[in-house]
A and B are shown apart, each in its own frame.
Chain A
Amino acid sequence: MDVDLIFRIAAIGILVAVLNQLLVRSGREEQAMMTTLAGLVVVLMMMVRQISDLFQLIKTLFGF
């Protein structure tokens, strides 16, 4: 099982949350927003392959 991926995503989430708080507290809301978006995109890029693997598996397994 790909537990590493889950922990990596959790780490990125915590990092983004902390960065977000720091940037918001120092009055840079737009940069905080950008950080959140960047984190989101990075995590999505990491997961796209897994999701495509899952759909491929379901397709082959259930005879689509």
Chain B
Amino acid sequence: MEQVMQITLVCVVTALLAAAVRRGAPEAALLLGLAAAVAALLALSGSLRELMGFFSELTARAGVSNDLFVPLYKTVGIALVVKVGTGLCKDAGAAALASAVEIAGAVCALLVALPLLEKAMNVLLELMG
């Protein structure tokens, strides 16, 4: 709870600072946004680590192979990066770049999920023939 408030405050204050700086130096405002995003995500590292530890323990207890869950984690990571990157591109007024980032994220997420899809396909093929 405390962390949420910290991050919210930092982001809001940064948005205010960026609004103040934007008139004189628009690129500095953009860099401010980038810095705040990076700082907030880095501040979340401890909590994220804890969560991931719990999830890996859960999969180990459930007796499911970790290989099945790795693509899932990777997709979450890709989504995180793409979301922030898209927002930053849109802030800079480059909507075309934002959509390029989105497409790249979708392609990479599909690529990461390919082993899972292959496994599902193999199961289906076995069932059919």
Contact assessment for A62 and B76 in the assembled complex, using a CB-CB cutoff below 8 Å: yes
Contact assessment for A54 and B48 in the assembled complex, using a CB-CB cutoff below 8 Å: no
Interface contacts (Cβ under 8 Å), in number, total 111
Please pick, from B20, B29, B34, the residue contacting A47 in the complex, using a CB distance under 8 A: B34
1/0 per position for A13-56, CB-CB distance to B under 8 A? Answer: 11011101100000000000000100110011001001101110
Number of chain A interface residues as a range: 20 to 34
Whether a CB of chain A sits under 8 angstroms from the CB of B124 is no
Contact assessment for B42 and A6 in the assembled complex, using a CB-CB cutoff below 8 Å: no
Set of chain A residues within 8 Å of B81, measured between Cβ atoms: 55, 58
A3's closest neighbor in chain B, by CB? B10
Given contacts A5-B39, A6-B35, A61-B49, contact A13 B25 (CB under 8 A): yes
Number of chain B interface residues as a range: 35 or more
Contact assessment for A63 and B32 in the assembled complex, using a CB-CB cutoff below 8 Å: no
Whether a CB of chain A sits under 8 angstroms from the CB of B24 is yes
Contact assessment for A5 and B35 in the assembled complex, using a CB-CB cutoff below 8 Å: yes
Set of chain A residues within 8 Å of B32, measured between Cβ atoms: 6, 9-10, 13
- Which residues on B are within 8 Å of A, measured CB to CB? 6-7, 10, 13-14, 17-18, 20-21, 23-25, 27-29, 31-32, 34-36, 38-43, 45, 48-49, 52, 70, 73-74, 76-77, 80-81
Q: 5 tightest CB-CB pairs across the interface, nearest first?
A: A17-B24, A13-B28, A62-B77, A13-B21, A1-B43
